[in-house]
Amino acid sequence: MIEDVLKTLSLTGEQSGAGNGSWLACTGELVESLSPIDGRTIGRVRSASKEDYESVSVAALRAFDTWKMVPAPKRGEIVRQIGNAFRAYKKELGALVSLEMGKIRAEGEGEVQEMIDMTDFAVGQSRMLYGLTMHSERPGHRMYEQWHPMGPVGVITAFNFPVAVWSWNAMIALVAGDTVIWKPSSKVPLCAIATMNIAWKVLKENGLPEGILSLVVGKHEIVGEALINDPKIPLISATGSVRMGRHIGQTVKARLGKALLELGGNNAIIVAPSANLQLAVRAILFGAVGTAGQRCTTTRRLIVHQSIYPALVETLLKAYSQVRIGNPLEESTLMGPLIDREAVESMQAALKRVGDEGGHILYGGKVLSGELFDAGTYVTPCICEVGPDLSIVKEETFAPILYLIRYGTIDEAIRYHNTVPQGLSSAIFTNDIREAEAFLSHRGSDCGIANVNIGTSGAEIGGAFGGEKDTGGGREAGSDAWKAYMRRQTCTINWSDDLPLAQGIHFETN
């Protein structure tokens, strides 16, 4: 099955890690793609050197001159065709996401569907690149704003969403008239290469030049630094850790470029006394266990009213005990592996700190062993009982650890919720309209996403995605997503025979 998927996606043999429509003869070191399912090498990629990156970036800049002059609705038509191409390979791409990243099959195909949905969304946006007309204070003048393509855009993505996050940026950037250079995580390079193979075919069939969509796989200190320091790249969109985001933000801002950052999440659900517990537990389970806790929107904290705490814990423990852990390609599996052994070690270190700081484990947290788990990447999802002020609770551990915290009043719950550095996704389960409105008010959730009676995970592309504080402040998708990828221009036209100045200023010579 693995061989069939790789063959269908043109991934047999050693792969090049750089290209702009055709693959370059890269000169960087060889990177092995290891499946977290069993530790097996599923592919080898020759990574890009700094010189390879320069070739790609020059081609992207050259292609921008052509692509920006294609009418936006026509650019949308190309994106529509790319979406249809992804539809044709949905099962194979979904299987590859599972193989290389470890998501269960349903989530792997769901991620590809997210790419497809994003192309559909972008097609609509291609006819909605609106400017405004304003009334000028000067007689005989017309004033309006318009938006222009920006240039080559750099997109840096993390391992946990190996294809979807690229599409959230790239499809909108394409309809905006930009070209795109993608640097994926070196942990999942095959997903990126397969995606490029599919998209490039569409561009070639339409007679478009190379360089509109490009890829560079390589070390962050080589390729990554070249990308974020490149003055040819006016915008860098980066998804990853807070530490990474701070470095990218400072570097890009130092050259007066723009940075769109989507960083860490430490997402919480408040469960109020009036909540539908059955509904809440379903959302908590998917939010905390889905993708083995490796989503930026993963539910990491559960803030529960003291009156329902025992009942919720009992129900949650029962639900966790029924989670089937194993090969993500098997239909009955609900949780696959962590991305690698380093992630497992990070989880174990966090759990040790929980004990050292006074919390205790109620369920799970074990590293699984045996014939089915030889890769050393499988763990049992973990529930911990903690106080709200533990330092470990304020950090994001990219693993299936759920921290349980008791509260007494809604104001106390909101305070606990907001007292972390991150601000991505949030939720409350309540049937009390006053509590729901308090949570959504100015004094409520300080996150970029706030939900009532649904969980923290599973964002729709129609809404702007991103967060506040250490999450970086960036937004992807949403009604005006295209504005992030274009430059704004204010225009004034004088159709009179006079030259009045603004603010009534008179400046005349005799």
pLDDT for position 510:
67
Q: Beta-carbon neighbour count of residue 376 at 10 Å? A: 17
User: Is position 262 annotated as part of the catalytic site?
Assistant: yes
pLDDT for position 505:
87
Burial of 363: CB neighbours in 10 Å, binned 0-12, 13-18, 19+:
middle
Cα 392 from Cα 354, distance rounded (Å): 7
Cβ 407 vs Cβ 304: under 8 Å: yes
**Closest Cα partner for 471 from 424, 425, 437, 402?**
424
Distances in Å between the Cα of 337 and the Cα atoms of 44, 434, 495 are: 21, 41, 67
User: Is position 447 annotated as part of the catalytic site?
Assistant: no
Active-site option among 296, 382, 384, 447: 296
Which tokens belong to 422?
A: 């991150």
Query: Can you give the pTM of this predicted structure?
Result: 0.96
At 361 the three-state DSSP class reads: strand
In the DSSP assignment, the letter for residue 161 is S
**Closest Cα partner for 329 from 17, 102, 121?**
102
What is the sign of the dihedral through the CA atoms of 301, 303, 306 and 310? negative
Cα 232 from Cα 214, distance rounded (Å): 14
Distances in Å between the Cα of 365 and the Cα atoms of 15, 264, 284, 336 are: 37, 22, 17, 14
Active-site option among 100, 107, 109, 262: 262
- CA 421, distance to chain mean position in Å, is 19
Q: What is the mean pLDDT of each run of 10 residues along the chain (510 residues)?
A: 91 97 96 96 97 98 98 98 98 98 97 97 97 96 98 98 98 98 98 98 98 97 97 98 97 98 97 97 98 98 98 97 97 97 98 97 96 94 97 97 98 98 98 98 98 94 95 94 97 96 83
Cα 51 from Cα 226, distance rounded (Å): 10
Identify the residue whose tokens are 């070191």.
Answer: 29
pLDDT for position 239:
97
Cα 145 from Cα 268, distance rounded (Å): 40
At 103 the three-state DSSP class reads: coil
Angle at the Cα of 423 (from 438 to 428), degrees rounded to 5?
Answer: 35
Enumerate the β-bridge partners of residue 269.
302, 427
| Interior/surface letters 423-448, b for 16+ CB within 10 angstroms, e for the rest | bbbbbbbbeeeebbebbeeeebbbbb
Identify the residue whose tokens are 């009676």.
Answer: 453
**Closest Cα partner for 353 from 399, 407, 293, 421?**
399
pLDDT for position 388:
94
Cα 15 from Cα 437, distance rounded (Å): 53
**Closest Cα partner for 424 from 245, 221, 215, 291?**
245
- H-run or E-run covering 4: helix 2-8
DSSP annotation string for 280-303: HHHHHHHHHHGGGG-STT-EEEEE
Strands (E), 21-158: 30-34, 41-46, 133-134, 141-149, 153-156
At 256 the three-state DSSP class reads: coil
